[in-house]
Amino acid sequence: MSPSSLAPRLAVAPAASSEYNTLILLKPLPTSFTDRDADMSIRSIQVSHIVLSTEELANVLIDHLKEDEYKDREMLFKMFAKMAKKYSACGTRNKGGDLGFLEHNTAAPELEKAAMAAPVGEVQGPIKSKFGYHIFLITKEEEMKDLDIDGLESSMASGPGTL
């Protein structure tokens, strides 16, 4: 197999020395990146959802949650959790439908894509996935920061007296 036939499937970096014609193979590139991730923005969001077996039932719950008595965000979150405990077909029903903060590729792709585009505090859906029909609510969004390679906001060694 020639290096040129590997190029579409592998990330390739030139060797440090230019006098040798050598390639260093770093790792295979994900093949599904363009299918699922190309147009998805990344946000740090906490999501609650209710999984239902029919779209009709999902629409009934959405209509109820959009009534005027739930214009207050705190009331909406409480009623959503109560409905999740009563109606959801997902194991998260015991936590009021709380999925926690979504990590990339950990939820149904359809739900994840819709959640990344949704505003905080508004009931959304129904979204069809292989699990059923999801109605969901973004309950919190945190600012994303660059924490550097070690996960710390700043280097421990930086400051006066360091090289």
pLDDT the model gives residue 114: 95
Q: Within this chain, do residues 78 and 120 fall inside the same structural domain, yes or no? A: yes
108 in a structural domain: yes
Domain count, the chain: 2
What integer pLDDT is reported at residue 10 of this predicted model? Answer: 45
Beta carbons within 8 Å of 7's beta carbon, 6+ residues apart: none
- Domain for residue 147, yes or no? no
pLDDT value, residue 75: 95
What is the domain extent for residue 16?
3-31
**Is residue 75 located within the same domain as residue 129?**
yes
Residues 67 and 130 in one domain: yes
At 147 the pLDDT is 59
Same structural domain, 49 and 129? yes
131 and 75 in one domain? yes
Residue 87 lies in a domain: yes
Half-sphere exposure of 124 (CA within 13 A, CB side): 22
pLDDT digits (tens, 9 = 90+) for 119-157: 999 999 999 999 999 999 999 998 877 656 655 555 555
Looking at the fold, whether 97 and 27 belong to one and the same domain comes out as no
Q: What pLDDT sits at residue 106?
A: 82
Q: From CA 111, how far away is CA 135, in angstroms rounded?
A: 9
Q: Which residues of the chain have pLDDT under 50?
A: 1, 5-12, 17, 29, 33-38, 163
Residue with tokens 């409480």, as numbered in its chain: 78
55 and 114 belong to one structural domain: yes
Asked if residue 161 is part of any domain, the answer here is: no
- Indicate whether 26 and 88 sit together in one domain: no
**Same domain flag for 27 and 78:** no
Question: What pLDDT was estimated at residue 104?
Answer: 79
Domain containing residue 98: CATH number: 3.10.50.40
